Structure formats: structure tokens, C-alpha cells
A and B are shown apart, each in its own frame.
Chain A
């Protein structure tokens, strides 16, 4: 079945350094679209980014990601981490638009 893999459970870095959180996926669907969700402490997950187009960069709130079907990847990046970016980040894959499968999540901790 469809699956999403996030290899890092915890990423710790210093404010101002670049962020990259990995996401790879497996699906039988030929035209997948991928999401990144962010969950801050004591809040519910909310949508951060979504991508429907292969090799097209999508950006929101300083974060960006590019869907690469050739490598089945949708890595999340930011050029300079802020303290407020500390949160739990989920990559997600909808199957046929309905069954939304999430990865195990990556906790990002940004230190001053």
C-alpha cells in the first residue's frame, strides 16, 4: 500500500542555520500529490505546503519543497531557521484524494 517515510525523528539545529527535513513516499498512483503539515506544541496539525506538480517548487511562510517523482521525494527546506519553527512536521500522501497517510513525523528543535 501507499506509505510515507520520514527518516529523522528529531532534528536539532541552531537559529539561523538552514533546515532540511526528508520525506520519501511509495504509491501506485501515477500522479501523487504531497502535503507537509506542521504541529506546534498543544495545537493540532495544520497544512504548511502542498504540491501537485512534478519538479515545481512550492513555498509558504518561508518554507519550500519540490515534488520529485523521479526520486519519490518531497523534502521540506528553509534557508534560515527561527525559534518559532520548533514543531512537529508531518509529510502526507493522499491516495485517490481520500485516504490521507502520514509519515511518523520529524520533531524540529531550534536552539538560540
Chain B
């Protein structure tokens, strides 16, 4: 088995701040994902990466950057945090057509 570790678990930021979320997986999966989860809006894809150094925009990429410098890690940057923003960011990994596994999430609050 494997595990996906997201850090930090809770992130409190200030309006306009650049914030970085990190994700590590030891499944040796090629593909990694970042999703944003908001109540009533489901899981929206922000970025995904099919291999090291690859980046693909999802439906919600505006306002975010991502980086995949190693196969095992995938980071997400909120380029300018929006006031009163609250969301859960979920990292996931999986092989082609295979089961996708999720991390436990990072809860973001912007004050």
C-alpha cells in the first residue's frame, strides 16, 4: 500500500498572500492531481500532472500555480489569497485509468 501526505493540514493566510500547499505520494504513480472542494460545488480540478515536470491546467487553474519537480511530489501555490476564502484542497494520485487515491486535504482559511 501507499500513502499521500499533504502539508499543512490547516493553513490560515491573509488577503493577497502567496500560499503554498505540498503533496507527497509513495505509490510511485505517474499522475497527480490538485482538486478544490467547496460545499455544493463538488471536486473541481485545478491542475494535474501526468509525469515529472509536466503540468496540465484543469477547469479552475486561474489564481493558482503548480509545480512537479519530482515524481513523488506535487505542490500548489495560491498566487493571491482572496479574503474570506474557505476551501479544502485535495491532492490525489493514480495511474492511467487506474484507481485514484486522495490525501487527507489542506483546509485553507483566508482572513
Contact = CB atoms under 8 A, between A and B. Distances in A.
Contact of A99 (B45, B99, B101, B103): B45
A29 B71 CA distance: 28
B90 A100 contact: no
Contact of B102 (A44, A97, A105): A44
Interface in A28-83: 33, 35, 44-47, 50, 52
A101 interface: yes
Contacts of B56: 98-99
Interface residues of A, number: 21
A100 B33 contact: yes
Contacts of B96: 97-98
Given A44-B103, A52-B97, A94-B97, 8 more contacts: A6-B42, A46-B102, A47-B100, A97-B97, A98-B50, A101-B45, A101-B59, A103-B42
Interface of A: 6, 9, 33, 35, 44-47, 50, 52, 90, 94, 97-105
